[in-house]
Amino acid sequence: MKARFYGGWIDEKRRAARKLFKLIVLFRNGVNFNEFEEEKMSELNEVKTTKETKNEMPILQLNRLSYAKINGKILEATNFKLEKYIAYASERMKTEITSGDVIEHGLKLLFDRDTGFKDWLKNN
């Protein structure tokens, strides 16, 4: 005889936890940051959907990301490494990677790891 707590609600939470864990593993393995954001948002939207809201909400879900175009100069040696990294990541991930993807992810890592910047950002 199965206990009642193994039913519906617990199973739904376990499925959500498994999906989140898979997304974290993908991110750590270098999945394209923009694709990760879109997948994460759609996964979170799935988790939030319950039986009650399924009838109230449209099936269509839009995840719009806004981008800013930037221009800048980098050293030729840095550009060479960037192009090599793009080739490496594209080959390993079996998807097209752009310089924008690498720059976006690199800046996110920089912002996340610079504690001085985080403190400064809180005050400004």
Q: Residue 3: which domain range?
A: 1-66
* One domain, residues 72 and 108: yes
Q: Rg of the chain over CA atoms, in angstroms?
A: 20
* One domain, residues 72 and 116: yes
Residue after which a domain boundary falls, among 66, 83, 111 = 66
Distance (Å, whole) CA 22 – CA 29: 11
* One domain, residues 60 and 5: yes
Residue after which a domain boundary falls, among 20, 50, 66 = 66
Are the C-beta atoms of residues 40 and 24 closer than 8 Å to each other? no
The answer, yes or no, to whether residue 9 has pLDDT greater than 60, is no
Distance (Å, whole) CA 47 – CA 35: 18
- The string of DSSP letters for 28-40 reads HTT--HHHHHHHH
* One domain, residues 29 and 55: yes
Distance (Å, whole) CA 108 – CA 106: 5
**Structure tokens, 110:** 């920089």
* One domain, residues 78 and 49: no
* One domain, residues 1 and 62: yes
Count of domains observed in the chain:
2
pLDDT score at 80: 97
Q: Which of 1-10, 25-34, 43-52 has the lowest mean pLDDT?
A: 1-10
* One domain, residues 43 and 87: no
Span 95-118, pLDDT tens digits: 999 999 999 999 999 999 999 999
- Under the banding of pLDDT at 50, 70 and 90, the label for residue 18 is confident
The answer, yes or no, to whether residue 4 has pLDDT greater than 50, is no
On the CB side of 91, how many CA atoms lie within 13 Å of its CA?
Answer: 6
Span 46-90, pLDDT tens digits: 655 555 555 666 666 667 788 899 999 999 999 999 999 999 999
Let me know the angle formed at the C-alpha of 12 by 9 and 17, rounded to the nearest 5 degrees: 125
Residue after which a domain boundary falls, among 42, 66, 90 = 66
pLDDT score at 117: 96
* One domain, residues 56 and 1: yes
pLDDT score at 26: 66
* One domain, residues 18 and 39: yes
* One domain, residues 82 and 123: yes
* One domain, residues 2 and 57: yes
Cα torsion 36, 38, 39, 42: sign: positive
Residues 80, 86, 87, 93, Cα dihedral to 10°: 160
